[in-house]
Structure formats: C-alpha cells, structure tokens
Amino acid sequence: MLVIGVPDDGRAGDVIASLTALAEDGPVRCLDAFDLAVLADGALSTGGPAPVSLPLFAELVEEGTDVPSTEATWHLGQVLAPGERAVVALLEHRWALGLRDSLLAAGATLRHET
C-alpha cells in the first residue's frame, strides 16, 4: 500500500489515473486507488465513489474483528495531518507470486507475508 501526498483534488485524479493505467498483466498492478482528505477534526473523508476495497474492511468491522495495535500497525492519521489530502493505492506485486511458490515448493515455511 502506498500513501501519496497530493496538493488538491485535481492532482489526486492525475495520480489515480497513473496508478490505474498500470498493465493488468505487468509485474505490479493497482488493485484499488482512492483519494482522501483528513478533516480538521481528524476524520477521514474519501472523495468520489466509495473505494473498491472498502467492503473488505467493512466486512471485518461488521464481524467485530479487532486489529491488534502493535508497532507494525498504523492509522492514516499518523502519516497525514488535518487538512492534508492523499491518494491511497493498494498494489499487487505479481512478480513475487512465482518466488513464493518456488519457496514453498522447496519446503520453506512463510512466517509472515503482507
């Protein structure tokens, strides 16, 4: 996931267009990209239609799944200040799929993958 700071809505649209133009069969593809702003009260506001990935997170929330707070977890509010805007992009590194399969075939055990 990338969080890319942008100065305004227009630039957010340009960044999203660049990300979504990545080839579907390329080594990296964009699964989802959306812009958001941090409001003065710290609340997050997405621009345009709801992000494609939002239902994935909503299902977890509806099921009451807690995300443990550890040094490895963070909140968008920690990297964006009130009044700032950013594009959030969920990317898939397709080149890593073959590597992972090779490691598993060689008897390796993946201890952590994100």
pLDDT of 94-114, one tens digit each? Answer: 877 788 889 889 998 877 665
Query: Which pLDDT value is given to residue 71?
Result: 67
> 70 exposed, middle or buried (CB, 10 Å; 0-12, 13-18, 19+)?
exposed
Distance CA 78, CA 56 (A): 22
Query: Which pLDDT value is given to residue 38?
Result: 83
As a whole number, mean pLDDT of residues 15-30 equals: 90
Q: Which residue has the higher pLDDT, 65 or 99?
A: 99
Rg (Cα) of the chain, in Å, rounded?
A: 17
pLDDT band per the 50, 70, 90 thresholds, residue 36: confident
> Is residue 83 left, alpha or beta, with left meaning phi > 0 and alpha meaning psi from -120 to 50?
left
> Is the pTM value of this prediction over 0.85?
no
Distance CA 92, CA 104 (A): 19
